[in-house]
Amino acid sequence: MKIRAYNKDKDEYKLMKMIEGEGEEWTCYSDNSVSDKYRFALENSITYVAYEGDNLCGYSRSINDCGFYIYVCDLLVIQMCRGKKIGQKLMECLSTEYPNQIVYVMSDVDEYYKKKGFKREGSIYEVTKKSP
Ligand SMILES: CC(C)(COP(=O)(O)OP(=O)(O)OC[C@H]1O[C@@H](n2cnc3c(N)ncnc32)[C@H](O)[C@@H]1OP(=O)(O)O)[C@@H](O)C(=O)NCCC(=O)NCCS
């Protein structure tokens, strides 16, 4: 398994195909109305891809807050490649590449990050919506 920085020419097609097959939560990125925006986001974020041979098996997409923090926005490993620490390695390569920055992940799967031993810090509020 190899992890490297995303390359639009080499990875975009495979990555968009990959997320198309991942159900509702991810197809929101590949729907026609937003896929151009997501392609742009992939290219302009810190995006890593994980390959087993020629097969794309996962990726992470993160944003850099001007050198202060890094926020992981998307992390995905396809079903058939799960359980091989690819998710963990995609996360770890951020700390390796950006040793002086704190890396946060916007979690949808708290149990996973807990299991990996990451420290919980704060929570997210949606400021465009008020609680009923
Ligand atoms: C979460 C995800 C990235 C993990 O990738 P992975 O490469 O399989 O993870 P790792 O190999 O590093 O870790 C596997 C371990 O985490 C556990 N794990 C995986 N997903 C989990 C979850 N949602 N909740 C709790 N534990 C989870 C596995 O059971 C396994 O445990 P074990 O080591 O005791 O056997 C992958 O399951 C995935 O893409 N899920 C769908 C997308 C998603 O939820 N992304 C995160 C959004 S913030």
Nearest protein Cα to ligand 1, atom 22: 112
- Structural domain count, the chain: 1
Whether residue 71 is contained in a domain is answered as yes
Whether residue 28 is contained in a domain is answered as yes
Q: Which atom of ligand 1 is nearest to the CA of 89?
A: 12
Determine the pLDDT at residue 3: 98
Tell me the pLDDT tens digit for each residue of 23-79.
Answer: 888 878 878 778 999 999 999 999 999 999 999 999 999 999 999 999 999 999 999
The best mutation among 93, 112, 115, 120 to test binding of ligand 1, ranked by most ligand atoms within 8 Å of the C-beta, falls on 112
Q: Which domain holds residue 101?
A: 2-115
CATH number, domain with residue 24: 3.40.630.30
Burial bucket for residue 91 (CB in 10 Å: 0-12, 13-18, 19+): buried
Whether residue 127 is contained in a domain is answered as no
Phi, psi of 115 (to 5 degrees): -60, -35
Tell me the pLDDT tens digit for each residue of 106-129.
Answer: 998 999 999 999 999 999 999 999
Whether residue 25 is contained in a domain is answered as yes
Determine the pLDDT at residue 52: 98
